[in-house]
Amino acid sequence: MATSRLLRTPAAVLAATALLISGCSSGRSTPDADASPGRTTEAGVQRPAEDATLQPLPATVPANLRPYYDQKLSWRPCGVAGFECTTMKAPLDYAEPSAGTDLKLAVARKKATGPGSRLGSLMVNPGGPGGSAIDYLQQYAPQPASVRARYDMVAMDPRGVARSAPVKCLSDRQMDRYTETDQTPDTPAEVDKLTAAFRYFAEGCKSHSGKLLSHVSTIEAARDMDVLRAALGDQKLTYVGASYGTFLGATYAGLFPTRVGRLVLDGAMNPDLDSRTVNRDQTAGFNVAFTAFAEACVKQRNCPLGQKNAEDAGRQLAAFFKKLDARPVATGEERKLTESLAMTGVIAAMYDQRAWPMLREYLAQAKAGNGRGLLALSDSYYEREPDGHYANQMYANPAVNCLDLAPAFATPDQVRAALPGFREASPVFGENFAWAALNCAYWPVKASGTAHRIEAKGADPIVVVGTTRDPATPYTWAKALAQQLSRATLLTYEGDGHTAYGRGSDCIDTEINTYLLEGTAPPKNKRCT
């Protein structure tokens, strides 16, 4: 059961499946970054006030934070050859820093290789929230060579993530049961079972993670980035953020506009949206991606969803999900392929069109009674290893999301009232996405952030990248963020999949590499294929 739709690069999903999420969020949390409060609608959904704009922090570092900014990092060889690792101290609570409660955040780098003069550090984040930036750096980000030659490539696992004081919630066996929970309830009893699962998950996080849950907001993670920038010796931040990483980068720009160097925000989020709108927009985004997949599939003689049209393919997939709801299929192991796991597997394949042939094959197998392939796709989404161990991403994801924004829904009745709109957004996925958005209603920590604009007045030019048929971060979000930022250029990729940089478009890669190496932003309204 995908309790939160992840916003991340597709590399991890594709890499894992080659062997064979509900709402993302935006938000503000720390008192000294607060702008105007939001307003609440009759339905209980928080909307940003007209003047709710993220305000910058003072340019001068406060005396009580100076020890963090002045710390010296001690590097050691680690992991993949050529990489170095260290830990960085950050206050648990920026409002009341105390050495006794400091967090140790994991950092990795690969130093500039040359030729050419070093340009500084380039920080990367793959999204999530909850994705390990260090894993991403070591596995996928040493390219392109021209950028690697001039920059020290740097990654920090954000607070609550992977190696940096990770949020913990359930045992692996408990997580297995949780992911199998029916997320399209048909009866009051099934609704009760779903809400009980949400409560159980939330209580597990509270029990295992305690005070940390109140301090994993995007605001705090962005402040950690500024501490790291200073510890690295850089006057300004150079950064490439993908998916949720764009919100992290934009938040940094809003808080520290005069310290913004060259920022690339690929697969951009719109921080000006409440959580219900985010979830509904993302539902529509996955429907756009599925329609593109279905249109390509029905042209294939072996399409398991027929050869008529995309609409009929959607009906066939929905009917298949309904069949699994009544009778899960075997997978060759103890777990069976349930409706929830199958839907998560299909959603995982929407992140990257290179997974579409694999999805066609696995759907055909599942319809024939073998659910192993779709289960593997689902496992890749949840970052479940072959030995049954889950990475921390599915715990960190709701911890950040539920802190950054008020819940999309407060009660099952609110979900029921919203179902028509979600079904309109996606006849195949709408019901699942709507019920998934209920998870934050039971979170043990009250949301501290609200939706807001990010203008980052005084920042250097920022490049915002949007993909026209992106499932997880709809193209409209990239346009909205580019319009909010005081100095931003929108670079458009006309294509499928989630994010664009480093995924096959020479046009996109050339524009971004030129910006990173020379500081020249793409031409206004530049579009690439």
Average pLDDT over residues 447-464: 97
Which residue(s) pair with 337 in the sheet?
329
Q: What is the pLDDT of residue 286?
A: 97
Position 1 pLDDT exceeds 70 = no
Average pLDDT over residues 481-510: 97
Instruction: Work out the mean pLDDT of the chain and round it to a whole number.
Output: 91
Of 182, 460, 498, 505, catalytic: 498
Coil, helix or strand at residue 53:
strand
- Number of H helices and E strands in the chain, helices first, is 18, 14
CA dihedral 279→285→289→291, nearest 10 degrees, is 100
pLDDT tens for residues 255-308?
A: 999 999 999 999 999 999 999 999 999 999 999 999 999 999 999 999 999 999
Q: What is the pLDDT of residue 80?
A: 80
Within 8 A by CB and 6+ apart from 233, the residues are none
The tokens for 439 are 């998870």
Strands 120-125 and 151-156: parallel
Residues 118, 124, 127: CA angle, nearest 5 degrees: 170
Is residue 323 packed enough to be buried (19+ CB in 10 Å), middle (13-18) or exposed (0-12)? middle
Q: What is the pLDDT of residue 224?
A: 98
More confident residue, 25 or 215: 215
Per-residue confidence band for 143, with pLDDT thresholds at 50, 70 and 90: confident
pLDDT tens for residues 13-49?
A: 433 333 333 333 333 333 333 333 333 333 333 444 5
Per-residue confidence band for 139, with pLDDT thresholds at 50, 70 and 90: confident
Q: Is 506 a known active-site residue?
A: no
CA atoms of 236 and 225, how far apart (whole Å): 11
More confident residue, 304 or 1: 304
Of 22, 26, 121, 243, catalytic: 243
Q: What is the pLDDT of residue 140?
A: 77
Position 406 pLDDT exceeds 60 = yes
CA atoms of 64 and 42, how far apart (whole Å): 42
Q: Is 498 a known active-site residue?
A: yes
Helix, strand, coil share of the chain (percent; to 5): 45, 15, 40
Average pLDDT over residues 346-364: 97
More confident residue, 170 or 1: 170
CA atoms of 258 and 417, how far apart (whole Å): 45
Per-residue confidence band for 51, with pLDDT thresholds at 50, 70 and 90: low
CA atoms of 362 and 371, how far apart (whole Å): 7
The tokens for 182 are 């029916």
pTM above 0.85, yes or no: yes
The tokens for 175 are 């997580």
Closest among 519, 520, 454, 457 to 486, alpha carbons compared: 457
Position 367 pLDDT exceeds 60 = yes
Give me the domains of the chain, ranges plus CATH numbers: 56-275+389-420+428-529 (3.40.50.1820)
Q: What is the pLDDT of residue 7?
A: 59
Average pLDDT over residues 186-201: 98
Q: What is the pLDDT of residue 360?
A: 98
Provide, rounded to the nearest whole percent, the portion of the chain with pLDDT above 70.
90
Closest among 494, 481, 487 to 527, alpha carbons compared: 494
Of 182, 325, 470, 509, catalytic: 470
Q: What is the pLDDT of residue 8?
A: 54
Q: What is the pLDDT of residue 412?
A: 98
Position 180 pLDDT exceeds 80 = yes
Q: Is 470 a known active-site residue?
A: yes
Which residue(s) pair with 466 in the sheet?
492
Average pLDDT over residues 203-232: 98
The tokens for 383 are 């970052």
